[in-house]
Structure 1
């Protein structure tokens, strides 16, 4: 109770690096919710995968992201010749711009070579695992003992995007064609690119670190 009363809300809310973490969560979960909630629909209605195979194929992107999170997490911990601030920026940019690039490619691929679509879709999900060394790691490091407040608000990004993403997807994919899904992929890619505030990660880091009381 004493710890909760002493949370420096003003210091936290006035730190750009913390806002960069929260904004990044919006971009991340916009992509994650689009992929994980609607990939079965895309795979079955657009790419034409059989319904009984959709469950397996839809599980591949999350699996790719899980494995990449482990790999990027270990890499972030082992790299010592780069500062933490720069690692936050590098990993976040790899995740956001990498995933956005694959989604843009997917948007213009058409639906002729379905297996290639599936591979690119999986790559878009997999590279997003680099967020383990990006904003996911930056939040606790910057806020230190107040990380429960900062990381707790990341869950707000999950909730917000779970409400918005279905509206975007369903409003654009009335006929479930590749042309309609092209705009879904491009919108998500644009959101991710705009939510990568890597230039703010680490800015005023000393202030965030000095929240100790």
Structure 2
């Protein structure tokens, strides 16, 4: 089935042709990324998300070292047991979830501000400020648990703007047929940061003390912030180092205009089933993700008796898998659209829902088996296959309303942050005795959430531009196309033109 035939079946024939005529021909993705400024933006965004997650997950490992009972023998030969912080499971759950109390507050604000002053600046400042606060975390922890929680909340406030703001960057820098791969490659930085931070945190904590985790990753984030602010501009037109041909190609394919005034249709946004499908899918994916992100080191130590070094490395394996698969899923998503095998709606639904179903199966198996090898393998597969879900819901904002994508991401990520708050708290209350049976309940809850997300996204997700998000020129074009219905020859002319452009 061709792209145009799919468009007819979905009732969006005129819109498909309009997009094909706007896009002309998708440029191939060259390995010489430095020749295209938008690929440099993707690379720096990748390292930005690397910092976002390395700054977020280091506490998951650090808290194990901070509360670990350590033995030492004094000069008289007497063995003593000490720990830096005597926090119980509820207090640890509160500390791990405190980041998300702040994180949830700025999702919507970040998306709204990005449409006004540019997503690149807010994205950079959010990560840069979090890096500075990370450097101060050891001092806060030694002062009091209340101070540590306060610092983590403030970190969450500044990191909360990052995901909404990056969609404002893609709205300006990403051609439509490159959105999946550009966004997926950048989002892979989340998992690269997790892959590096978890084992590195275990090694740093063992060799240099838990304080070193925060000093090392905080310093890396500060260096990245300086590079980002120097290199990345809000749009290709404002970047004097972006080739004119590339800037014109991006402008033409995205349809962006300089100083374009954006007035969001709030009622239409909040009553759109397509928007709420994204919200539910993001909630479901991040429930499982945050559960593993914050609890996996403790789970491996409690049920499988891994020491701190092994815990860090094994906790990183699922995210290494996901990071690698993100590039694959993004490329496949774009490729199936360019070749005309699937419509955008089909790509989003198939990728997202298939991933959720697979995650449900393997999360349940992980809970049932509780074997050192098979459990880690099941968790790795479950988390890794989430990469295909990110080529569904995470890019979907740009499909249905590109000029409002940062606002939509702010809305969906606000709800997506709730699992980061609730999951550690629920786990803290369930896992009182660190028993295998208690951990099984945690895994079963995650599997159930995935199933709910699958059902809702399948029935309500959409991949086409929504009526309330169309620009005047698109509406005018569709009216013109509708006027050709009575003239078959003119209709065939538009169809043939679009086919030639695609090929």
TM above 0.5, yes or no, is yes
2: distance between equivalents of 1:208 and 1:146?
13
Instruction: Confirm or deny: 8 A CA contact 1:69 1:131 kept in the other structure.
Output: no
2: distance between equivalents of 1:158 and 1:89?
19
Q: Does 2:322 correspond to 1:62?
A: no
2: distance between equivalents of 1:157 and 1:13?
13
Instruction: Confirm or deny: 8 A CA contact 1:11 1:211 kept in the other structure.
Output: no
Q: Does 2:89 correspond to 1:89?
A: no
2: distance between equivalents of 1:167 and 1:106?
21
Instruction: Confirm or deny: 8 A CA contact 2:282 2:416 kept in the other structure.
Output: yes
Greater RCO structure (CA 8 Å; 6+ sep) = 1
SS at match of 1:199: helix
**Once the two structures are superposed, what CA deviation does each residue of 1:172-194 show, in whole Å capped at 9, x if it has no partner?**
11112221111111111111111
Q: Does 2:449 correspond to 1:157?
A: no
**Once the two structures are superposed, what CA deviation does each residue of 1:23-66 show, in whole Å capped at 9, x if it has no partner?**
11111111110011111011111111122211111111111111
Aligned to 2:359, which of 99, 113, 123?
Answer: 99
CA separation of 1:208 and 1:63: change in aligned 2, threshold 3 A? farther
2: distance between equivalents of 1:206 and 1:69?
24
Name the counterpart of 1:32: 289
CA separation of 1:142 and 1:51: change in aligned 2, threshold 3 A? same
Structure 1 unaligned residues grouped into runs of 5+ = none
Instruction: Confirm or deny: 8 A CA contact 1:144 1:209 kept in the other structure.
Output: no
SS at match of 2:377: helix
Aligned to 1:42, which of 290, 296, 299?
Answer: 299
**Rg comparison, structure with higher value:** 2
RMSD: 1.7
Name the counterpart of 2:471: 212
Per the TM alignment, residue 208 of structure 1 is displaced from its structure 2 partner at its CA by: 4.6
Normalising by structure 2, report the TM-score: 0.40
Instruction: Confirm or deny: 8 A CA contact 2:301 2:308 kept in the other structure.
Output: yes
CA separation of 1:27 and 1:209: change in aligned 2, threshold 3 A? same
CA separation of 1:40 and 1:100: change in aligned 2, threshold 3 A? same
Q: Does 2:407 correspond to 1:140?
A: no
CA separation of 1:91 and 1:208: change in aligned 2, threshold 3 A? farther
